[in-house]
Amino acid sequence: MEDDELRVDHLRLSEDDVDGFSEPVVRLWWDKEFVGQVYWDGDEVVVQIHSDDDGEPFDLSLGPFARALVEAEQIVNPNWEDELDIVDDPSSDEDELEETTRLVSEFDSRAVHRSDGGEGYFDKSTSLEFIDRCDELRLGVTTVEGFDYQGRTLKSRPSLIAQFKPNTASSEWANIAADLNDQAREVVSRWSDRDTLVVAFVVMEPTGESFIA
């Protein structure tokens, strides 16, 4: 995978500078098939989806597709951080990589399953601990998605997906992260305690950048 590519489950994102566009264009691929692109048209983020080689529409799992669009929006939207109204944490520039690395390393071995692209899936109990740890590290959960994992197979649960934006009026990152995590904790706490339930996360750093856990 190239340095400017990101994989979200089977979806692959590539970032390109294209003549006529003021911001990078993100192209979406399903393995080697071109799915579409995301770009900034000067006023808003636009998603353009193409048909497959046979002229048929792509059938995409909602969860990975939604997470891919979140990642793409951060790349192409020049106002992403402004819309979140985040005040930069002066300590974040040096510490964010360390804190993110710490979170990932602490929970890496606790994933019930990891996709080929490296995305982790955690049982409910571990997921709640994961959210608590995000609180401690000043990281904010922006997306949670639930699946059933049985027989080494993931089954998407379209009703178990939630994306969060800050409800707090504060522009301080610590308060924004805490608010995001409170929302995520409330949602995951309501989900079933069945043994097959696993949860995937998208997490935001103090600068507004996100990563898949």
- Verify that 54 and 126 share a domain, yes or no: no
The beta strands (E) that lie in 41-150 are given as: 45-49, 113-114, 120-123, 140-150
Give the residue from 61, 78, 95 where a domain finishes: 78
Helix (H) or strand (E) holding 201: strand 197-204
- Verify that 99 and 63 share a domain, yes or no: no
Per-residue pLDDT of 5-59, as tens digits, reads: 444 456 778 888 888 888 889 998 887 788 999 999 988 899 999 888 888 887 8
Q: Is the pLDDT of residue 95 over 60?
A: no
Q: CB count, 10 Å around CB of 203?
A: 25
**What is the rounded CA–CA span in Å between residue 164 and residue 83?**
13
- Verify that 19 and 114 share a domain, yes or no: no
Q: Which residue range forms the structural domain that includes residue 37?
A: 5-78
Give the residue from 44, 78, 112 where a domain finishes: 78
| Count of domains for the chain | 2
- 210 burial (CB, 10 Å; 0-12 / 13-18 / 19+) is buried
- Verify that 161 and 66 share a domain, yes or no: no
**What is the rounded CA–CA span in Å between residue 69 and residue 121?**
19
